[in-house]
Structure 1
């Protein structure tokens, strides 16, 4: 069989651009890139001034001590000092307790509310606004509102308990209920954002999966377990990490509700202890050392969580 060879034909080349057109195109590209890099430079300067520099400064100050205007390098003395402080360990216990309770309520309750909103057929938009309303309120106003609710004498919660002929509670004035009261207030303030994120993830689930589950005889709980949770696993994992990092840095709620310490130090958190070191004791070295410890703990947890998430995938 004879081989058939086909010669490739070249297309006639177009006219070469003149030097003036090349220079104009080059100027346009340079101008466009300069504009883009100018916007990028502004963002980088903001991050450098307000995020990166304070972080570097905190690391430096954790190895220094300032007394009477003189700054000296003390090595790990600040770290040794905070480790010997009994308030250090109590603050970490309170912070971990707050994180556990906040995840138990603040992670599960928004998901349940999102599932209920997703199942509704009427007044869905109004209920979304109602759920998100606490997020739009100033945090200080929300906390002061709950402080009024928790008042043992004329607060709303004890008034309801008296109306139901149930025993009242000291709420913020008792070491056994102070932390739980702070968690309830924080959950109400922040659940709206997480609820809307969950609701958006739920509405992205194909309806055919629910129809197939219903044909198999699956009830509501089985549909949630076998369809909803697997389909929203990525969002659940991401919000879990973000909520753990956020709740371990809680400050506003215990500071305004209980003055920071609470009865018998029951609401002293790590961030509030940093505040005390810096602004009550004027010990910026110890405050920076404690902030560095928290940074290392949160970074280690985030890295471990990301590694476990990749291994699970």
Structure 2
């Protein structure tokens, strides 16, 4: 009799009831979401093997000396010391920061201006959206070789146009003074259309009654832009600002295909230097160490940026 009473008390104890209810909820949750997780499983596996695994492997390789002949040898922080002591590494960071600054002045602002202009049109909106987005559809290498022909100092279209107005031909990609800005122009032309469509979608989501209220108050076009339009798309602008910096810090295709880092290392970026470490010097450890340093810099920047913007948003609210 005592045994039966103990079993009965144990079956109705609060802990037992909680565990039983938790198990029931868990089984119901699994049954309800099992098909969704099965659909997500291939994407998660691809993401794991092609994104997270290379990142982890890159951190491991950065502490090893690896080439195509000898087996891997653990060298600790030696790769980082060699990279940090390389004078070209500082030059690459300077060029990368310069490129990022130029892309913020041009590549970040141009899509906003284009979106504002297209948003004000009443006719041919679809045509302009397609026209501005066409460069995005071209493969990056195709865009690079198109602009290399335009920049050609002897037979390029740009110098031919300059000759029509009696201006001397310019060494667009052959001079350290103009090579970087020439690459920025190519990157802006090739990528502005995608950002423009995102801004255009955000602009079309701004409530019309805000503009009506601003017109009733007698606001000018500039004041409506400053006090209505830009605050309404601020979230999109902040997100694309971060993405613009991250993508600019990882620029590779344009300097690699247009100038190979020249002239006189004027367009050697961090990612191009990583390529040179790995495939020209054969030092995969140094390349991984430089990649880890770039990764850490981008992570720190992103965290600081989001912390600052969160405090600004709290202050505004």
**Offset of residue 103 of structure 1:** 0.9
**Offset of residue 72 of structure 1:** 1.3
**Offset of residue 28 of structure 1:** 11
**Offset of residue 217 of structure 1:** 3.1
Q: Return closer, same or farther for 1:218/1:37 CA change in 2, 3 Å cut-off.
A: closer
Tell me which residue corresponds to 1:113: 114
Alpha-carbon separation, structure 1, partners of 2:173 and 2:57? 36
- 1:97-150: CA deviations, max 9, x gaps? 000001100110110010000111110111100010100111111111000000
**Offset of residue 29 of structure 1:** 8.9
TM-score, normalised to structure 2's length?
0.87
**Offset of residue 43 of structure 1:** 1.9
SS at match of 1:99: helix
**Offset of residue 219 of structure 1:** 2.4
**Offset of residue 159 of structure 1:** 1.0
The total of aligned residue pairs comes to 286
Tell me which residue corresponds to 2:79: 78
The reply to whether residue 48 of structure 1 matches residue 48 of structure 2 is yes
Tell me which residue corresponds to 2:291: 291
- 1:173-230: CA deviations, max 9, x gaps? 0000000000000000000010000111111111222222233333222221111111
Tell me which residue corresponds to 1:310: 310
Q: Return closer, same or farther for 1:30/1:178 CA change in 2, 3 Å cut-off.
A: closer
Q: List alignment gaps of at least 5 residues for structure 2.
A: 1-26
Alpha-carbon separation, structure 2, partners of 1:173 and 1:88? 22
**Offset of residue 154 of structure 1:** 1.2
Q: List alignment gaps of at least 5 residues for structure 1.
A: 1-26
Tell me which residue corresponds to 1:122: 123
Alpha-carbon separation, structure 1, partners of 2:200 and 2:41? 36
Alpha-carbon separation, structure 1, partners of 2:90 and 2:64? 23
Q: Return closer, same or farther for 1:31/1:217 CA change in 2, 3 Å cut-off.
A: closer
Alpha-carbon separation, structure 1, partners of 2:216 and 2:169? 49
Tell me which residue corresponds to 1:230: 231
The root-mean-square deviation of aligned C-alpha atoms, in Å, is 1.7
**Offset of residue 31 of structure 1:** 6.9
Tell me which residue corresponds to 1:166: 167
Tell me which residue corresponds to 2:7: none
Q: Return closer, same or farther for 1:230/1:71 CA change in 2, 3 Å cut-off.
A: same
